[in-house]
Structure 1
Amino acid sequence: MKSTKTYQELLQENEELQLRLEEATDTIDAIRMGNIDGLIVQTDKGTQLYTLRNSDQTFRIFIEQMNEGAVTLNHDGVILYSNSRFADMICLPLEKVIGQPFFLFVMPEFKERWKTLMTAGWEDNVKDEIILAGNNIQLPVLMSLKTLMLEDGVSLSVVITDLSSQKEAQRILTRKNAELEHAQNIALHLNTTLESTVQQRTIELKQRTEELERNIIQKSDVEKQLRSNEEHLQLILETMAEGIGIFDKKGKMTYANPMARKILRLGKNELYNYKKEQHFKLDGKPLEIKEHPIAITLSSGSLLFDFEISIISESKEAAYISINAAPLKDTNGSIDGCIVTFMDVTHRRKDILQKDEFISIASHELKTPITSLKASLQFMNQMKEQPFSSVYVEMLNMANRSVDKVCDLVEDLLNATKMKEGQITLKKGSFSMYEAIEEIVPRIGTNTKQKVILSGNKSSIVFADRNKIEQVIVNFLNNAIKYAASSEEIMVSIEPLNNAIKVSVIDKGPGIPPNKLPHLFDRYFRVDFNSIQYSGLGLGLYISSQIIKKHGGDIGVESEPGKGSCFWFSIPV
């Protein structure tokens, strides 16, 4: 016969069950909030130890700085990882997000859409808009899903972009009211049927214990996933095009990715010490330590963007670096270091300097013929009563030459702009290369005492834009006359190649320094010999190279200081 428990025994048993239930609930909360490092759990297999570890702050800071929310899901849709941004978006603390099924944060009317979206996300990259439910908000978002293949298997990466933060949901309040009502019903039921309440609590305690065991397993899986994510992020850092460095609060570098080492010219085990390196401002003045962007961020906690400094390379040339810096703070809000990105902007800075230099040169080159033209016109105005005198004619010729010079400069500028924008057009036709050059030589020869000698295949026929090809040849000859004034003869040779014609202009002038040769066909580049500055915009060879490339040909130069130069091009016949 079943024994009947007394009322006092039932009350004592109920109190013990309530204590066990509260202890299990506190344990679950501690696990989710990361307040314990390990648990000993009694299972059917014996006593087992489960350890919990936190992710490294330095590793996670990059994901934490994203403007979008970011979570990683397993196949069951459980959140394995979430950045703080996502938790902020749904107004929940991070410990109430990680380990939860994602559909809990989806509005009921969008749960089916989310289920369909998540299913499709495991097959392909997908995007869709849904409404998330957070802490008293309804948040329209854009969900971007993509699978990640990591060492521990495939996971689903979700990037959540906030579309509107104006709508609020009452899901949490409703849930709390329901829990309160449920608790009141349980208390009422406990008062009326104590024995059945104890039995129900026993069942609930067992369910909570099972849930605790599942949470421990899930936490272990999350830790594995976090380690995989850390390896993935480390791979990203190692292959980034920007340099990344981390500094402690004393300004000592604690981490540098490969690109940072390359930009800062660091050895394998060498770390960057901005306090010992010599830096310069953009105007060339020394940069004091307190003015360095890293020092500014560590002292003030301010964000710095695109702060340019200059360093001197081993070749004694200035290199320019753009620095972005952001402070790292501890749990108390104190500055604990900073994270810095480095970008080599030497080419950008040199382009700016080159453009400024070009504007100065262009202004000077245009001013000279315009001044001459103005003087000629003023003189002609004084002699307008004697329009046929020899002086008047000479002034008229001088004015015409000045106008031609201005027109040539403007034409070069227009051609350079067209070629940069890819607007150059060719009017091709068949013509004799020998005859074309033969017609050019007399025009060039009238302006110099140097002798231009043409040799080569007289029957060479090409299919090309004759005017453009003649422009290239004239530029080669003018450069030879201008830069090789000591060369008594300038040779022009024509030789056939395989399905092509090669034209060379050879002088016996001073030659060109080897370090200048790679830049001769760059836009705005000019060569100065022995500190002598020659006129011109530095566009002639650049325009010539673009014309030859448009014809599908090649162009180049061979030179040896003291022996002369050979400029050549070849185009298909």
Structure 2
Amino acid sequence: MEQSTNDDFLRALTDPELLYENAPCGYLSFAADGKIVKVNQTLISWLGFFRAEVVDKLTFKDLVSKGGKIYYEMFYMPLLRMQPMVNEINFDFIRKDGSAFPALINSSVFHNSEGKVVAVNATVYNITDRKKYEKELLDAKKQADSERSKFELLADFTPEIIFTAEPDGEISYVNRRFTSFFGLPAGGFKTRDVLSKVHAQDQFKLIRNWTAAVMAKVDFQMEIRLQTLNSESHWHMVRALPIISATGNVEKWMGSCTDINQHIKAIQHLDEFITVASHELKTPITSLNASLQLMERMVEVQGNAKLSTLMSQANRSVQKVRHLVEDLLHTGSIKEGQISLQKKVFSISDWLAGSCGHVKLEEKFNLHIAPSGIIFVEGDEQRIDQVLVNFVNNAMKYAPGSTDIYISAEILGERVKISVRDLGQGIPADKLPYLFDRYYRVDYTGGSASGLGLGLYICSEIIRRHGGEIGVDSHLGEGSTFWFTLPLFKPDLEYQRNMN
């Protein structure tokens, strides 16, 4: 029984008439005058007729819309008389109930011996779903065009320079402020025209950093000098953010360029004042420190406990002022590129063992230094120690409730990563990107913080000049980990022989 059923099924698949009747498309044959002589079941079902109501009763024009009738007479049939096949002709077919559906028709012509049209075979494809998708795409395009028009209108009236770029970084749109600032024709410009407005010292750095951001698909931010229409150079902050798709690819870049010239000038004036003031303060502080040391010896001879306490407080205050002035001087030197590095090869484990002696003497905090193994770096040991001490001091200052401070060193590929971790209150996520900026200080609620906001900035510059990276990881309530990396030193055989 089962074998018989399978045979019947296979015969149905190979039966030409069954295939014709139940094909996924409609078949239609009509004479030269349009009268329908044959139609398959698929098309009959779409139209809602009975076969007897169609065959030898209706013409092709009876099945199509009014516009289709006109098209049939003026274009369709004349084309069939001139050529053997006509493909991709669009008609709206009318069902028995009066509703319509769009269709595409491919037609082939049969001629008699005299070359006259005898009959036409047509294949009918119901494209209702296709039309639906086309409409959705058209509506989406109209919506996108409308949103783009709104964006461009807003962008043209904003005082900032606005631009967009393609995934490869090529600029695709600029607002009116962009073209007017650079003196470029609206609707067209060349990249070299824009680069010609960038200060010569900033051009290579701009191209390098922008290319790196595009390749890495990360946010771009850079301060550059742009030439205005009156040939003056003004500082601008260029920012660009990648719009990432669900697949992780960049769909577009959105960018802006903000005039920060007044801000930069104010910072420059402040730096000039601080540099001059720091140099002026250095001499009297040195004299004051020497006087206090002399007075301290005199107090010790007299044995006055109260004066001794006051002298200790005065000494601590002078040392604090001296450190502040040194930070200011370091900042000026770093900014002017005058900081010098005395590089040498040293062992990380030996350096960590001898660092942060002031913490060990106070005995208020516990330093936990993880074994680092045999690791060498080449750098200015004192400068790098300055970074580590700053990290540890910050842990003591801003996480006083966490008496345990953890210091570790690990090899990550070609670099060494030094980390200082505390178990304090942590730092808010919105503050993290600015911690290493000049003059930036975090406002710790309920805590006390002093300083000028220069320590971490100086640390970042020291590490940057060593070719390393610096950063922080922090979660509220879990503590903070400040870290920096240095290039790993791999001693060659000659160096190892000299060490031995």
TM-score, L = length of structure 2: 0.41
- With the length of structure 1 as denominator, give the TM-score of the two structures: 0.36
